[in-house]
Every structure is written in structure tokens, then in C-alpha cells.
Amino acid sequence: MKLAYKAYDGLGKAVTGIIEAGDTVGASELLHRKGLYVAAIEASIPAQEKTRFIRRHSSGGQRLKDVAWFSRQLFVLVSSGTQLADALHALERQARPGPWRQVITSLRTRVEGGAALAVAMETHNAYFDPIYRNLIAAGESSGRLVEMFDQLAGLKQKQLRVRNSVVGALVYPCLLVTVGLTMFVMLLLFVIPRFAGLFQTMAVPLPASTAVLLHASDAFRAYWWLTMLLAAGAVGGAVVGLRTPRGRQMRDRLVLRLPYVGPIVKSLSTARIVSLLGVLMQARIPVLEALRHVRHSTGNGRYQELIARAEEAVTKGEAMSAAFDDTGLVSPSVYEAIRSGEESGELDRLLITISTFLDEENEVIVRSLTSIIEPLILIVMGLLVGLIAICMFMPLFDLASITQQGG
């Protein structure tokens, strides 16, 4: 791969150029052999293209896992007295070749060149969001970088745990739905047509339900391509529509109104907002700036409006808690805790306590929802298969009855 480098020769003269090497470590060794002292080295592609490459080749869950590992390892190394550049070099050697290793290499080279870590992270916003960079900048300016690494590691581990619990809860129901749909399609394509041929040879009168099912099977076999095309078009149209501002607004409102799902989304969103706000305030980030970062990191438009109201209240010199007095989005207990924290001057500590409690409660709720969804899906699948079986065997039962009467 081609790597752009900046180095200094023996006379202290700056040298820049592009070198061909397998990775940045190999390129550094090649430059050292030439008598050059490397200041910075990274892939010779623009930062925007690099960000798009990283987003294409790494999922959100993997990025979150990498950043959580990165934060914990840096906390352990820096707290033990290791210099930041040496710690980054150690993590670079541990990382597997790929986009994530390139990110760490870029951070190390820029830190070795004298840049602050928060500044070095700005070109890698696919991994390090504004909240992460702000906390690092606060730690560097206050001399509490080790403490910030610890808080960030805990925050990312918590986000990863919540994500894994939600994804894990959805995997089995999605698998059941996929198996059920596949089984239904196979019945329409292969099983029901065999019964149709049998009914034609026996010239047996068909009940209305059986006739409807046979016609549905014939139509699906003849126009399966049209069915697939319409389904793909419907899914594509829904995806495009949900990406528009109006579509996102409708989606956000609908999700919060769904039975069982709505309360879980509200609880998860509240826990995320409270957790991020608590960590930012503990880092002595100004309240308005903290609210702005939390608003941008919130995916639901209703909660973005809620935080915008809180920003407006703080700007006017009013209490921030007044904006959270919305029982449709925030539970009364959370609102009361925020109000009490503002009055006592311990809002940051109370926010962290609330987020811990909500995270524990959400894990229980997600597990409970999974235990409800799985039997419901199995019951629906059983009813569907049973209905098809009854429709197919009813003519045979009628034929047997007619035969016995004739005998």
C-alpha cells in the first residue's frame, strides 16, 4: 500500500513523500534504514475517503467494541506510567491489520509529532464521536487524562453491553420469522400443488378455504417474480421514505407509541441521555455544550426536541430539569432526580446513579420482552401450518365420508 510520510534527515531538514510498504510499521523501518526520523505516516488518501472506507469495512458494533478495548487498554497503560505515544505503539502492535490498526497508527504518528490526542482523533470521527473527543480534550487540559480513559472505558463498555443485549434479544425472533416465511413459501411452491393434482384426479368438491389456498398457490407460482419485485420495492420505498425528514419524524413518533416496544425505546433513550450528560458534566464540560453534544448523539427526534428545550431553558437562565418534565418521554422519577440534583448541586453524581439503575432495569425488560415474543411467534407459526393442513385435508375427509355413505 502507498503511505504518505513526513520525516527529518540527519541535518534536521523536513522530508515528505510517498513510500510503498505493507503497513506503517514496515514503512517506518524502511525510512529508518534510509537515515530518516519519521514524524508522521499514514495512508495517502484524503481523510473523507478514509472515513468512508472505515465505515464500509467495519460495522457499528465492531467499531464500538474496538473503541471500548482501546479506552480500557489506554487506561491500564497510562495509569501504570507508560507514555501516551508508547502506549499507542503497544496497541498498534496488538491490533490486527486493517482499518482499525490504521487508525491507531495515525493517532500514534500525530501524537509523536506533537499533536494533542483529541486533535489527532478529529480525522477519525467514524470511531471517535464529538463526546469522546471532548472528554479527551478535557482530560488533557486538566491533567486528568487517566481518569477520562477510565470513564470512557466504562461508558463504551456500557453502550456495548446494551447493544449486545438488544441484538441478542432480536436474533432468535428474527430467525424464527425467517424460518416461518421460508416454510410458508415452500408450502405454496411445492406442497400445495401436489394436493391440487390429487384433488383433480379424484374430482372431489373443494371447500371455499381450500379453493382460495389453491388459487393463491397458483398465483404465487405464476407470478413469484412480481411478488418478489413488489416486496423489494416496498422495502426500498420504506427505507427511502424513512430517510426523509418527515419519514424520520413519523418513525420516531410511531416507535414510541408501539405497545411493549415503545416503553423499552423510551427507557433506553433516557438511560443514554442521562449517562452521557452525567459523564460530560463530571468532566466539567459546560452545560450548554454538553447538552448540544448529547442532542446530536440521540437518534430519536422526539428526544432531540426535548434536549433542545433544555438548551433553551439553560440559555434563559432557567432550570434544565423543567424541560424533562414530560411524562410522555421521561419517567417522573427521573425528572424528580434531575430536579433534586440541580437543587443540591450534585447533578452529575445523580445522573450517573440514575443511568446505572436504568441500565440494570433495561436489561431485565429486554430479557422479559424476548421471553414474550418467542412463544408468540411459535404460536403464530403453529396456527398458520395448522390452518394450511386443515384446508388441505378437509377434502380428503369429505371424500372418505362420501365413500363410507356409498358403501
Check pLDDT > 70 for residue 11.
no
Reported as a pLDDT band with limits 50, 70 and 90, residue 327 is confident
Check pLDDT > 80 for residue 313.
yes
Are both 38 and 75 inside the same structural domain? no
Check pLDDT > 80 for residue 275.
yes
- Please report whether residue 192 resides in a domain: no
Q: Which three cell numbers stand for residue 216?
A: 393463491
For the ranges 45-49, 217-221, 395-399, the maximum mean pLDDT occurs at 217-221
Reported as a pLDDT band with limits 50, 70 and 90, residue 46 is very low
Reported as a pLDDT band with limits 50, 70 and 90, residue 62 is confident
Q: Of the candidates 291, 277, 256, which has an alpha carbon nearest to the alpha carbon of residue 337?
A: 277
More confident residue, 397 or 223: 223
Last residue of a domain, one of 71, 95, 128: 128
Q: What CATH number is associated with residue 338?
A: 1.20.81.30
Are both 33 and 57 inside the same structural domain? no
- Please report whether residue 82 resides in a domain: yes
Are both 51 and 89 inside the same structural domain? yes
Last residue of a domain, one of 104, 128, 152: 128
- Please report whether residue 248 resides in a domain: no
Reported as a pLDDT band with limits 50, 70 and 90, residue 23 is low
Among 13-27, 169-183, 327-341, whose mean pLDDT is lowest? 13-27
Are both 11 and 60 inside the same structural domain? no
More confident residue, 97 or 16: 97
Domain of residue 7: give its range: 1-44
pLDDT at 229: 92
- Please report whether residue 299 resides in a domain: yes
Are both 31 and 92 inside the same structural domain? no
Last residue of a domain, one of 93, 128, 163: 128
Reported as a pLDDT band with limits 50, 70 and 90, residue 404 is low
Which residues contact residue 264 at a Cβ distance below 8 angstroms, ignoring those fewer than 6 apart?
362, 365, 366, 369
- Please report whether residue 182 resides in a domain: no
- Please report whether residue 169 resides in a domain: no
Check pLDDT > 70 for residue 25.
no
pLDDT at 47: 43
pLDDT at 72: 92
CA 77 to chain centre: 28
Are both 53 and 109 inside the same structural domain? yes
- Please report whether residue 158 resides in a domain: no
pLDDT at 64: 87
Are both 358 and 265 inside the same structural domain? yes
- Provide the 10 A C-beta neighbour count for residue 213: 21
Are both 343 and 291 inside the same structural domain? yes
Are both 35 and 92 inside the same structural domain? no
pLDDT at 230: 92
3-state per-residue secondary structure call for the chain: CEEEEEEECCCCCEEEEEEECCCHHHHHHHHHHCCCEEEEEEECCCHHHHHHHHHHHCCHHHHHHHHHHHHHHHHHHHHCCCCHHHHHHHHHHHCCCCHHHHHHHHHHHHHHCCCCHHHHHHHHCCCCCHHHHHHHHHHHHHCCHHHHHHHHHHHHHHHHHHHHHHHHHHHHHHHHHHHHHHHHHHHHHHHHHHHHHHHHHHCCCCCHHHHHHHHHHHHHHHCHHHHHHHHHHHHHHHHHHHCCHHHHHHHHHHHHHCCCHHHHHHHHHHHHHHHHHHHHHHCCCCHHHHHHHHHHHCCCHHHHHHHHHHHHHHHCCCCHHHHHCCCCCCCHHHHHHHHHHHHHCCHHHHHHHHHHHHHHHHHHHHHHHHHHHHHHHHHHHHHHHHHHHHHHHHHHHHHHHHHHHHC
pTM: 0.69
Are both 54 and 100 inside the same structural domain? yes
Reported as a pLDDT band with limits 50, 70 and 90, residue 49 is very low
16: which strand partners?
6
| Domains in the chain, number | 3
Burial code (b: 16+ CB inside 10 Å, e: under 16) for 336-361 equals: ebbbebeeeeebbebbbebbbebbee
Check pLDDT > 70 for residue 298.
yes
Check pLDDT > 60 for residue 54.
no
Check pLDDT > 70 for residue 45.
no
CB 5 within 8 A of CB 38: yes
- What's the alpha-carbon Rg for the chain, to the nearest Å? 30
Q: By percentage, how much of the chain surpasses pLDDT 70?
A: 88
Are both 90 and 39 inside the same structural domain? no
What is the phi-psi region of residue 35: left when phi exceeds 0, alpha when psi lies from -120 to 50, beta otherwise? left
Check pLDDT > 80 for residue 34.
no
Q: In whole angstroms, give the CA distance from residue 322 to residue 342.
A: 11
Q: What is the mean pLDDT of residues 375-400?
A: 81
Q: Which three cell numbers stand for residue 371?
A: 421471553
Check pLDDT > 70 for residue 402.
no
pLDDT tens for 90-141 read: 998 888 888 898 999 989 888 888 888 988 888 888 889 888 888 898 888 8
pLDDT at 59: 60
Residue 178, judged by CB atoms within 10 A of its CB (0-12, 13-18, 19+), counts as exposed
Q: What is the mean pLDDT of residues 68-75?
A: 91
pLDDT at 12: 63
pLDDT at 48: 44
The sign one gets for the Cα dihedral 332, 336, 342, 348 is: negative
pLDDT tens for 125-181 read: 888 988 888 889 888 888 888 888 888 888 888 888 888 887 877 788 888 888 888
Are both 5 and 18 inside the same structural domain? yes
CB 6 within 8 A of CB 44: no
